[in-house]
Amino acid sequence: MITRKLMIYALVSLLVVIFPLNMLMPKAAVANSTIGAVDYVSLGDSIAYGLSAPSGQGYSDLFYTYLQSKPELAGIKLYNLAKPGLESSDLFNELKSDSNVKGTLENANIVTVSIGGNNLLGPVIRSVATAYHLDLSDPQLNVNLGKALQNDKNETNTLLDLALSGTLETELNTGVAKFQSDWPQMIELIKTMAPKSQIYVLTVYNPFSQNDLLFSLFDPYVQQINKAIKAGDGYSTADIYTCFLQGSAQQPLNYDLLQGQTDPHPTQQGHKMIFKTLWNLFELYNASPLESKTGIMANKTWTIKFSMPLANSAGEFIQIYSTTGLPINVSVKPGGLWSDSLVVLPPQDGYTPGVYSLYIKSGLPSKSGQKLAQSVRMDFTVS
């Protein structure tokens, strides 16, 4: 009988939204539905390639392993076409002329893209290396650059002079302009070449510590590139910039020119954080959507009412995310006279204007042990 199944009602204002019946089916019945052959294609630069990460621990590998665990994606294959050193124009040219890239994308169901960092980091490394009269063509450039910085007793002044020079500013502006020109055409090409794909695009992070002089110099240019990425449509944006800033205590990066640490790539923990953001976006994209809500107040408290008493762990299956895959710091508390409700309290300072998703994860348990078979989400817009 339907009363014995886990039924969920989301109370939105005074409306009751009833979840479709297929979400109440036994989980195995949902899992048996596959979508056929699936290809995951990773495009981009050395970050997507996994440079500096332990073998198999780059974000592309971690995301692939996660996708393999989904019964509906059985048999998925990974094609990592990323190459270290690529700038936006390099990837754009590959998309236009490389038959291997074209052929692989035609069969892609999931695509991730990391590009733009080298448009900015390249000019910085070249400028600092030139200031120390290093050979830019030397394969050991990064190693030599680290030694030069460590041996320079006036390295702070050297970098300050460089930051104040017009040369670096000109090169950074050129890098931004190239990206702004390339990106709209590039992403449209990817969408055309991979029409059945879910596409996830990483924002560019600032590799410098917030205490580093170069952070403030670099950041406005990073923001311009990320603005271009966020302005597009037809893909999901993974906000790695904010993810790394908010999670800096977890050490996603270890780049510090003043200390001679010249590897700008994410640490193993950084790759895990990128993967987790992609995980969030994938789960949201593939959750069953409820009717979205607009005009929501910044201090909105959501009450989710169930028809059965809930297990003590049920609150762990509720989360609110930004549209860029970042979890919002909300509190979930039990409610209802019969322990049949969950109350989602807003962040301490309220929601900032924007679009969010209230996410209810599959597996949410009732006290009797029944579980929600399929994840659901409700998007809402805070004015």
The answer on pLDDT for 287 being more than 70 is: yes
Ordered by start, the domain boundaries in the chain are 2-19+290-382, 39-286
Are 65 and 28 in contact, with CB atoms under 8 Å apart?
no
Which neighbouring-strand residues pair with 247? none
- pLDDT-based confidence at residue 186 (cuts at 50, 70, 90): very high
- pLDDT-based confidence at residue 36 (cuts at 50, 70, 90): low
| DSSP string of 169-228, one letter each residue | HHHHHHHHHHHHHHHHHHHHHHHHHSTT-EEEEEPPP--S-TTSHHHHHHHHHHHHHHHH
Highest mean predicted confidence (pLDDT) among 20-34, 179-193, 244-258: 179-193
pTM: predicted TM-score of the whole model, two decimal places: 0.87
> 270 versus 256: which is more confidently predicted?
270
Mean pLDDT value across the chain: 87
The residues near 160 (Cβ < 8 Å, ≥ 6 apart) are 213
Task: Classify the C-alpha dihedral 330-311-278-275 as positive or negative.
Answer: positive
The CATH homologous superfamily for domain 39-286 is SGNH hydrolase (3.40.50.1110)
Domain covering 2-19+290-382 in this structure, CATH number: 2.60.40.1220
For residue 340, how many C-alpha atoms fall within 13 Å in the half-sphere facing its CB?
14
The answer on pLDDT for 200 being more than 80 is: yes
Phi first, then psi: give them for residue 104, nearest 5 degrees.
-70, -40
Spatial CA neighbour of 264 closest among 171, 154, 146: 146
pLDDT tens digits, 230-239: 999 999 999 9
The residues near 231 (Cβ < 8 Å, ≥ 6 apart) are none
Please tell me the chain's helix, strand, coil percentages from 3-state DSSP, rounded to the nearest 5: 45, 20, 35
- pLDDT-based confidence at residue 323 (cuts at 50, 70, 90): very high
- pLDDT-based confidence at residue 140 (cuts at 50, 70, 90): confident
Tokens of 210: 């917030």
- How far, in Å, CA of 120 to CA of 126, rounded? 10
Phi first, then psi: give them for residue 196, nearest 5 degrees.
-100, 15
- How far, in Å, CA of 89 to CA of 177, rounded? 11
**H helices within the chain, ranges in order?**
27-31, 46-49, 59-68, 88-97, 99-106, 117-131, 141-151, 155-164, 166-193, 213-231, 240-246, 268-286
pLDDT tens digits, 296-322: 999 999 999 988 899 999 999 999 999
Q: What is the mean pLDDT of residues 174-182?
A: 97
Q: What is the mean pLDDT of residues 261-288?
A: 95
Are 221 and 172 in contact, with CB atoms under 8 Å apart?
yes
pLDDT of residue 4: 33
